[in-house]
Chains A and B, each alone.
Chain A
Amino acid sequence: MPAGDTAAALVERLLQGDRRALAQAITCVENGETAAGELLAALYPHGGRAHVIGVTGSPGTGKSTLVGALARAYRGRGLTVGILAIDPSSPFTGGALLGDRLRMRDLAGDAGIFIRSMATRGSTGGLSRMAADAVHAIDAAGFQRIIIETVGAGQDEVEVARLAHTVIVVEAPGLGDDIQAIKAGILETADILLVNKADREGAEQTIAALRMMLELRNGTPAVVAHHGAMMAAPATAPSRQEDAWQPPLIATVATEGRGIAETIDAIEAHRAHLTGTPEGREAEERRAEAQLDRALDEALRRLLAEKVDAATYRQAVEDIARRRRDARATAEQLVELLRSRGD
């Protein structure tokens, strides 16, 4: 929080379109400052209007250039765009080199664009909270489309992609066997598949391989993933196979703008598909549930910090490390302790 400012004043400025207030609000939630709770509570009722697009894929697939091209195309259609570009922090120094703006430089000077770079800062699930909170702030500030760009390399990134209404997975030819990598988890989240750099050698093979995987995927019945477990789909869902969204596969050359209009059309078609359908409502509820789960985890940890002293906690950690007791039993015992000390 800026010194001498209150959360309410910051929110007031943000809602009036003050870009600096938006930037400061993101810093506040990113750092998990004390005022973040109040800030987010005040922002939340003003959000929910933006369509959130997640763009993910291996390094070198041209995501940043693509995001820049999509943002420009949206501006051409008269819509404002917020971009959240996420890059990894170094696990050794905690520092990060955030270079996505480099490929979006021609968006500079447009008041209808807001770009924020974010570092992953460790990988304890904190990233998806930081990103979700930042998206709430950008949404409340009135941006109509929000693009989240992540390196599609791990579980954290998949989780971030799930913040989005529409998930775009980007592939490129000539990156070796990485189709294998995206098969495990990320491809399943794709609402739209892109093969970028489609003017390069090997593009056809990449497209053919992805098409085959899409066909395989569409042949299997839909399941709902929750807490990493596969649950049977509820009886009311999913909608009949012919109504279900079929992820399109689009070839793009982002540097030349090829395939960009088709991609925007596909995003908007997906948006229309989600609007007012059971599928859209279910997706919204899944996102809400994920947010609630995350908030509950954090609230529980805070409660624990309040009610259980540090020495007890350290002792519990040591018990597990020395194999005196397993983590699950230890957690149960701490929860018992909480219960006995509850008001």
Chain B
Amino acid sequence: MSAQDQERKIRVLVAKPGLDGHDRGAKVVARALRDAGMEVIYTGLRQTPEMIAEAALQEDVDVVGLSILSGAHMALLPRIAELLRVDGMADVIIVAGGIIPDEDVPALEAAGVARVFGPGTPTDEIAAFIQGAVAQRRPA
């Protein structure tokens, strides 16, 4: 028979928590992930952690990608990870990008962020990381 069983699509929520108004990076990543065959739900600027967690829940995403340049990452990212856990979505992979100093990365990882991508990361690398991480989580 013709191949009916499409592979399960990876769904990614791309959001910008906090108050900075720079969404170019988030848009570039959203587009790159779409071009890598993923379904990307883009929610745009100035999202509260609650809005992001609720959107992730309704959209039943595999991955939440967060872009943050305001410097408030140490407050916002752990809060989002916590809300996802409370909502029963501890298995959702959280990745972050933007302006995040190296010394903050270990604390963010401990808080549940799977990977932090710095400025200039090739978008292929982000897509490859997500594909690998999702493949690991899903039962074979």
A-to-B contact residues, CB < 8 Å: 3, 19-20, 23-24, 26-27, 31-32, 89-90, 93-99, 101-102, 105, 108-109, 114-117, 119, 121-122, 301, 304-305, 310, 313, 317
Q: Would you call the interface of chain B mostly helix, strand, loop, or mixed?
A: mixed
Is the Cβ of B59 less than 8 Å from the Cβ of A95?
no
30 contacts between A and B (CB under 8 A): A3-B139, A20-B57, A20-B87, A26-B60, A27-B11, A31-B6, A31-B9, A32-B4, A90-B34, A90-B35, A93-B36, A93-B37, A94-B37, A95-B33, A95-B38, A96-B34, A96-B39, A97-B31, A98-B40, A101-B42, A102-B43, A105-B43, A105-B51, A108-B50, A108-B51, A115-B58, A116-B59, A119-B9, A301-B4, A313-B2
Residues 1-22 (chain B) with a chain A CB within 8 angstroms: 1-2, 4, 6, 8-9, 11
Contact A98 to B139, CB < 8 A, known contacts A26-B60, A108-B55, A114-B58: no
Known: A31-B8, A119-B9, A121-B6. 9 other contacts (CB 8 A): A20-B87, A95-B34, A95-B37, A101-B55, A102-B43, A108-B51, A108-B55, A114-B58, A317-B2
User: Which residue of chain A has its CB nearest to the CB of B89?
Assistant: A20
Tally inter-chain residue pairs, CB-CB below 8 A. Answer: 94
Closest 6 CB pairs of A and B: A95-B34, A23-B60, A305-B1, A108-B51, A102-B44, A27-B60
Is the Cβ of B1 less than 8 Å from the Cβ of A304?
yes
Is the Cβ of B51 less than 8 Å from the Cβ of A99?
no
Q: How far is the CB of B51 from chain A (nearest CB, A)?
A: 4
Is the Cβ of A97 less than 8 Å from the Cβ of B34?
yes
Q: Would you call the interface of chain A mostly helix, strand, loop, or mixed?
A: mixed
B30 within 8 Å of A by Cβ? yes
Residue numbers in A under 8 Å from B37 (CB-CB)? 93-95
Q: How far is the CB of B14 from chain A (nearest CB, A)?
A: 9
B-to-A contact residues, CB < 8 Å: 1-2, 4, 6, 8-9, 11, 30-31, 33-44, 47-48, 50-51, 54-55, 57-60, 87-89, 139
Q: How far is the CB of A155 from chain B (nearest CB, A)?
A: 20
Residue numbers in B under 8 Å from A32 (CB-CB)? 4
User: Which residue of chain B has its CB nearest to the CB of A100?
Assistant: B41
Is the Cβ of B59 less than 8 Å from the Cβ of A117?
yes
Contact A95 to B54, CB < 8 A, known contacts A23-B59, A105-B44, A305-B1: no
Is the Cβ of B39 less than 8 Å from the Cβ of A98?
yes
Interface centre among A19, A24, A117, A119 (most CB of B within 10 A): A117
Q: How far is the CB of B35 from chain A (nearest CB, A)?
A: 5
Q: How far is the CB of A146 from chain B (nearest CB, A)?
A: 14
Is the Cβ of B42 less than 8 Å from the Cβ of A95?
no
Is the Cβ of B43 less than 8 Å from the Cβ of A121?
no
Contact of B58 among A95, A116, A310 (CB under 8 A): A116
